[in-house]
């Protein structure tokens, strides 16, 4: 068929079109629209021509026709053909022996039926917006994230080339994908390198960045949750399903769901100011800080407790009857019957099993805690603190001074947590200001804005580099530096 001699129009509501879901073939994106493809910290190469998004903004300029196919052997009646796969007639394509035209509707319908026979979902959109998996936000206008229904199966492209359907669609790979050596995930330095290549607005530089990353010049991101080294390992105890990282889920679980997806701004996906700021390493650091703070507090108070235990053993204060009463009263305390000071004099020497925590675990510290604290204790006893936490708090520790000691201990731990959270909050504020500054700087040519934008850019350059307060940016923080939020011990 001669090029330009074909129609590429929406079928006039043929039966197949009625059955088909709206197709979403790769579509060139107007430059103005591409300009909108960036978020506060992530921009997409301007030369990128992603698959038509699910929510397409109305362009001021007439929407361009999809690009013409070049099919030679498929007669444009198989899914190889983009037009056919999109449910469109060929129009102005460069295809040969095209059967995807109005005058060939009968054969076309047969091809459609045949295709649907093989795969009933063949004409359904590959990219769909799925709601965030973070349950707590589902009712709060949680952002919907585009996701590839089938997922890609890339092996060599690292999912960083347009061979990859996910990459082409401007979305991150998900658990649906079965790709190998994937680098198309949140936090991927390789992906960041490509996106930052957008600053050069140079196609070659962008692809060069992709090649560099694929060749390992930059190396693995080092992110703990990177799927790169975990895929296709049958021996993985977590099983094949766990081999693939679901960006949306991981991000959600870490509160970073706003980072997911690098689709166009037209979708207005929420992006946290902490995007690219709170890293998995930060979470680990926070956990480490809490554990360290807890242990330090324990060590400090344990000495006092030991002394008191020795004193009480010498005195022989308690009788068996007392112990029985203690158990009774402890249970009452658990139910809030007896006031705290009253119990404090009876709680020592009890067995660990005397008290049951709200979550079913024995509770070493009888002191009533806030629901949040209780939840933390329930969660942490089995994980971060584990048996170490329990052995660090012998039953003898709970004497009449226990409430005071526990208060001090909790204060120490929470102080450390507070200090760390302050650092995180500061980062978020800086990022939020950066985003606002960048936007205003783009819209205005005020020197102050430009200066701010430049400074902000400097603060956020480099993959995974956190945005820190300006003074922190100016002076690199060495490990262990008290001002380094990633390495300092806030409890100190």
Partner DNA sequence: GAGTTTGAAACT
Partner DNA sequence: CAGTTTCAAACTC
- Name the site residues for DNA (rule: CB under 7 A): 26, 49, 69-74, 76, 78-82, 85, 115, 118-119, 122, 126, 150, 152-159, 161-165, 168, 207, 210-211
C-alpha angle with apex 104: 103 to 105, nearest 5 degrees? Answer: 95
Q: How many CB atoms lie within 10 A of CB 418?
A: 11
The residue among 158 and 485 lying less far from DNA, judged by its C-beta, is 158
The residue among 138 and 156 lying less far from DNA, judged by its C-beta, is 156
As measured in angstroms, the least distance from the Cβ of 162 to DNA is 3
Report how far residue 442's alpha carbon sits from residue 444's, in angstroms, rounded to the nearest whole number.
6
The residue among 236 and 299 lying less far from DNA, judged by its C-beta, is 236
Phi and psi at 130, nearest 5°, equal: -115, 145
Whether 466 and 271 have beta carbons less than 8 Å apart is answered as no
The residue among 208 and 281 lying less far from DNA, judged by its C-beta, is 208
As measured in angstroms, the least distance from the Cβ of 215 to DNA is 10
As measured in angstroms, the least distance from the Cβ of 398 to DNA is 57
As measured in angstroms, the least distance from the Cβ of 266 to DNA is 21
The residue among 215 and 320 lying less far from DNA, judged by its C-beta, is 215
H/E/C letters for each residue in 272-332? CCCCCCCCHHHHHHHHHHHHHHHHHHHHHHHHHHHHHHHHHHHHCCCCHHHHHHHHHHHHH
The residue among 234 and 372 lying less far from DNA, judged by its C-beta, is 234
The residue among 94 and 484 lying less far from DNA, judged by its C-beta, is 94
Token couple for 368: 């009533």
Which residues lie closer than 8 Å to 197 by C-beta, 6 or more apart?
45, 205, 206, 208, 209, 210
Nearest to 192 by CA among 490, 463, 492, 487: 463
Token couple for 48: 């990128």
Token couple for 461: 């350059």
As measured in angstroms, the least distance from the Cβ of 328 to DNA is 59
As measured in angstroms, the least distance from the Cβ of 168 to DNA is 6
As measured in angstroms, the least distance from the Cβ of 84 to DNA is 8
Whether 130 and 145 have beta carbons less than 8 Å apart is answered as yes
Q: H or E element: which one contains 127?
A: strand 127-131
């Amino acid at each position: 068929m001669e090029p330009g001699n074909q129609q590429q129009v929406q079928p006039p509501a043929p039966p197949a079109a009625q059955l088909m879901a709206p197709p979403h073939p790769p579509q060139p994106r107007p430059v103005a629209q591409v300009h909108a493809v960036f978020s506060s910290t992530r921009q997409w190469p301007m030369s990128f021509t992603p698959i038509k998004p699910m929510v397409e903004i109305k362009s001021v300029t007439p929407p361009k026709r999809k690009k013409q196919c070049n099919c030679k052997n498929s007669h444009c009646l198989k899914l190889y053909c983009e037009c056919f796969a999109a449910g469109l007639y060929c129009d102005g394509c460069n295809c040969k022996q095209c059967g995807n035209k109005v005058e060939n509707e009968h054969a076309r319908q047969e091809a459609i039926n045949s295709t649907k026979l093989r795969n009933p979902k063949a004409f359904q959109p590959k990219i769909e917006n799925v709601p965030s998996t973070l349950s707590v936000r589902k009712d709060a206008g949680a952002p919907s994230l585009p996701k590839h229904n089938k997922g890609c199966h890339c092996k060599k492209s690292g999912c960083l080339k347009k061979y990859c359907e996910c990459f082409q669609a401007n979305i991150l790979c998900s658990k649906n994908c079965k790709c190998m050596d994937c680098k198309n995930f949140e936090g991927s330095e390789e992906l960041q390198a490509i996106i930052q290549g957008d600053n050069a607005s140079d196609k070659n530089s962008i692809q060069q960045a992709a090649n560099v990353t694929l060749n390992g010049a930059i190396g693995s991101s080092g992110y703990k949750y990177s799927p790169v080294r975990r895929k296709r390992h049958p021996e993985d105890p977590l099983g094949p399903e766990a081999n693939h990282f679901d960006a949306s889920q991981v991000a959600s679980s870490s509160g970073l769901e706003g980072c997911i997806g690098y689709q166009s701004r037209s979708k207005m996906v929420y992006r946290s100011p902490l995007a690219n700021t709170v890293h998995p390493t930060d979470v680990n650091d926070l956990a480490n800080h809490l554990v360290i703070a807890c242990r330090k507090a324990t060590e400090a108070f344990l000495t006092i407790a030991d002394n008191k235990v020795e004193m009480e053993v010498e005195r022989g204060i308690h009788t068996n009857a007392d112990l029985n009463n203690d158990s009774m009263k402890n249970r009452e305390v658990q139910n809030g019957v007896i006031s705290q000071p009253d119990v404090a004099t009876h709680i020592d020497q009890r067995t660990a099993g005397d008290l049951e925590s709200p979550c079913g675990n024995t509770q070493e510290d009888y002191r009533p805690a806030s629901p949040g604290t209780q939840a933390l204790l329930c969660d942490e006893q089995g994980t971060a603190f584990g048996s170490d936490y329990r052995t660090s708090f012998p039953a003898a520790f709970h004497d009449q001074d226990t409430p005071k000691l526990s208060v001090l201990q909790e204060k120490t731990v929470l102080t450390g947590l507070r200090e760390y959270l302050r650092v995180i909050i500061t980062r978020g504020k800086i990022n939020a200001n950066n985003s606002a500054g960048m936007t205003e700087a783009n819209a205005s040519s005020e020197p102050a804005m430009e200066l701010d934008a430049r400074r902000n850019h400097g603060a956020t350059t480099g993959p995974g580099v956190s945005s820190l307060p300006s003074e922190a940016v100016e002076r690199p923080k060495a490990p262990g530096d008290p001002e380094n939020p990633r390495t300092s011990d806030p409890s100190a």
